[in-house]
Amino acid sequence: MKWILTILIWCSVTVTGFGQAVALNQINPSLLDKPWSAHWISHPTASPTEYGVFHFRKSFELADVPEKFIVHISGDNRYRFFVNGKPICEGPSRGDIEHWHFDSVDIAPYLRKGRNVLAAEVWNFGLKRPVAQFSLMTGFILQGNSSKEEIVNTDSSWKVIQDQAYSPGEDPGNLLHTYIVVGPTDVVDGSKYPWGWETDGYDDSSWKQAIEVHSGQPRGIGTETSWTLTPRQIPFMEKKLERMKSVRRSEGINITDNWLQGKAPLTIPANRKVSILIDNGVLTTAYPELYVAKGKGATVKISYAEALFDANGQKGNRDVIDGKKLLGYTDVFLPDGGTNRLFRPLWFRTYRYIRIDIQTADEPLTINDFYGMFTAYPLVEKATFISSDSSLKQIWNVGWRTARLCANETYFDCPYYEQLQYVGDTRIQALISLYVSGDDRLVRKAIKLFNDSRFSEGLTRSRYPSYLPQIIPPYSLFWVDMVNDYRMLRDDPEFVRSNLWGIENVMHWFEQRIDRKTGLLGKVEYWNFVDWAKEWVWSSETQMGGVPAGGFQGQSAMLTLQFAYSAQHAAEIFKQFNDTCLAQKYQMLADNLVKAVKENCWDESKGYFSDTPEKKEFSMHTNIFAVLTDAVDKHNAKDFVRRMMNDTSLIQPTMYFRFYLTQAMKKVGLADEYLNTLGLWRDMLTKGLTTFAEKPDPTRSDCHAWSASPDYDLLATVAGIEPSSPGFKTVKIEPALGPLQFIKGQFPHPEGMIEFDLKRKGKDGITGRITLPANLTGVFRWNGKEVPLHSGSQEIEL
């Protein structure tokens, strides 16, 4: 994460990528099964593995402007690519060394007759790189799609310079005393920056000749593998200019909000110290862009935070600033005194609040403009949900913002602190994406990345990509559940089939750990995280937290039931692929695991399942999964869940695990009570949060997409829209209005839009209209009654 300085003014409209991205079928097939003629290039003398920012250039002549000019680009760690001074794309989308993505763009619209200049900025954060960022060494590659475009292939004709303006800032983790692994902050000296380096008019005669490392290698090619090149699987990220809301506090200068609206410049007098606190109004992920003039010798510091902290280190109401201060990571830049300078980080920042601290020297500093360039995966909000309770609209909006900020080139657990894709979070995030946007590309990438992450023992990594391996065995089980979710929601059997061997490996790993005496899981290695329940505190001895009883030494009812839950899903998956042997095996395995929990962990006096056979700890988590796996007798299940929900003596779930509580409620027929469980979410809204937090206060992260599950459940539970057969070939609509008088909205099915407009009729009836897209049929259920649904519009009267 660093600052780029350029005189280029970025587009101020919504853009999904800047170049003309090309489809997979436009890539020359030979580039996918033969070594590339282009070479990875690097700096000839700089360390290829240490921190550094580099600029590459190539000039060439064109007799005429071509109709198409397709090039394929990648870099390590990351790159930004320009044609004749215009930004085209940035990447590559994160993967690992064995699946290193390249981007394909048609740059013909940016070319001109005569001289043209291609330029790329490549940065390598070395040991300071984000934990989510794999790296081999500093490198850049560009390959023409055909002989016509190969004139610009990367080789020793390209020139390179190391930008000495950049150095890493203070470690954010040391500053905030918490786990922050999103990369370094930036210190940029404008007097050392090669202004205009990406433009045609820049003189690069003093630059060095790039060195060739080795040719590009697509997957499965070559005697040695370096970066194994594979096509990008997802679209470019969205870019959109986003104005900040207001100046909440200033010291040393009087400011109006006209400056933030781009209507007037702000001049800081010479030899003046000022501090400006800006409130963006909502949490965001954006590239802050600051245009300045003059100010030679000044120091500008920009600090970013999700929320402000009081004297006791608490956030409190996020809208309140009195008596609070900003603690957050900081970028530093030193203006060189030039005009129209743009300071922009190489990687985006996450913030609601920004503090700018400026110390000028003998020359005034003018800030001509300051704004954010919003960035995220280009999810489009296609679903809608309207009801008689207007407050649900706020929950929906805040949930969707949370989901959007936690989706980029991968899903993120949180955009401020980690930007890591965890399986437990991602299962919920994937369902939100599929239900609200209908976009399944990032979902498929996530499932594939986790499958690719499996190590020799068979488990997936708990988070991936991540160059620091972490293993949470229960998350490997959730990956199996993710595959099953996708199987039900998308008619994509070949993709599901590609994960079958991975499922077998995960199942086998857990099978080997069954205690033959009790039938429960015995000792399960690694970090058996379940939830951040307050009773499951972080242990300095084990260096782990969020683990229920039995999670360290074995005999955990929770882990055993989760294994049974995934085994049930595995049985259904293999049944669809006509593997009767494995389907029966996994169903029998699930039955035996459930039986073992019933025999060893049921406490008759309490009427609950204990977390271990010792029966000293009882959690809602274990009992939720007892319901989900049918360990609870179906005739008593509804009363069991209702009693459990009202029993505060049980260890309570946080927002994350309440997703599974909702599934249990639906299973036993208590979906109508779902809206009564949203108290934690409503509490966050009263505290001024504009995204949903990781857990109730005190919380580290103010934006955690596992807490955005209401956006899924308003459609899947309240509107009751779910697949009733694999591939979503048929639909079941079973609304659970609870206290609502009406619901209205739409849902993006793969075949088209499902529309619903329903309202209560009397005490127990319902009336309205359902519209299904062509080729889709299903059933509508209400109070035990069922009517068939056909494609097109139909009246509902029950």
Q: Which sign, positive or negative, has the C-alpha torsion 627, 629, 633, 635?
A: positive
Query: What is residue 626's predicted lDDT score, i.e. its pLDDT?
Result: 98
> What are the structure tokens assigned to 19, written together?
């170049």
pLDDT for 602 equals: 98
Contacts for 792-797: CB closer than 8 Å, 24+ residues apart: 793/769, 794/769, 794/770, 795/767, 795/768, 795/769, 796/758, 796/766, 796/767, 796/768, 796/769, 796/770, 797/761, 797/765, 797/766, 797/767
The model's confidence at residue 257, banded by pLDDT at 50, 70 and 90, is confident
pLDDT at 138 (0 to 100)? 98
Q: Where are the alpha helices (DSSP H) in 512-632?
A: 557-576, 580-601, 620-628
Q: What is the pLDDT of residue 19?
A: 60
* Digit-coded pLDDT (tens) for 298-352: 999 999 999 999 999 999 999 999 999 999 999 999 999 999 899 999 999 999 9
Q: What local confidence, expressed as pLDDT, does residue 146 receive?
A: 96
Average pLDDT (42-71) is 97
Structural tokens at position 720: 């009751």
Give the per-residue pLDDT at 175.
78
Task: Give per-residue pLDDT as tens, 686-722.
Answer: 999 999 999 999 999 999 999 999 999 999 999 999 9
Question: What is the average per-residue pLDDT within 237-261?
Answer: 94
pLDDT score of 477 more than 90 = yes
Which pLDDT tens digit goes with each residue over 426-447?
999 999 999 999 999 999 999 9
Q: What pLDDT sits at residue 12?
A: 32
Residue 539 pLDDT: 86
Angle of CA points 66, 68, 70, to nearest 5°? 125
Q: Is the pLDDT of residue 17 over 50?
A: no
Using the predicted structure, report yes or no on whether residue 256 has a pLDDT greater than 90. no
Residue with tokens 């927002």: 655
Burial 599-629 (b: 16+ CB within 10 A, else e): ebbbeeeeebbbbbbebebbbbbbbbbbbbb
In degrees rounded to 5, what are phi and psi of residue 171? -60, 120
CB atoms within 10 A of CB 558: 30
pLDDT band with cut points at 50, 70 and 90 for residue 20: low
Contacts for 486 with CB less than 8 Å, ≥ 6 apart: 430, 440, 443, 444, 447, 492, 495, 496
Q: How far apart are CA 285 and CA 274, in angstroms?
A: 25
Output the average pLDDT for the chain.
95
Mean pLDDT computed over 573-595: 98
Identify the H or E element spanning 432: helix 423-436
224 or 744, higher pLDDT: 744
Residue 354's Cβ-side half-sphere holds a number of Cα atoms within 13 Å equal to 30
Residue 9: what pLDDT? 31
Residue 39 phi/psi, 5° resolution?
Answer: -110, 145
Q: What is the arithmetic mean of pLDDT over 605-632?
A: 98
Helices 423-436 and 391-405 pack at an angle, to 10 degrees, of: 120
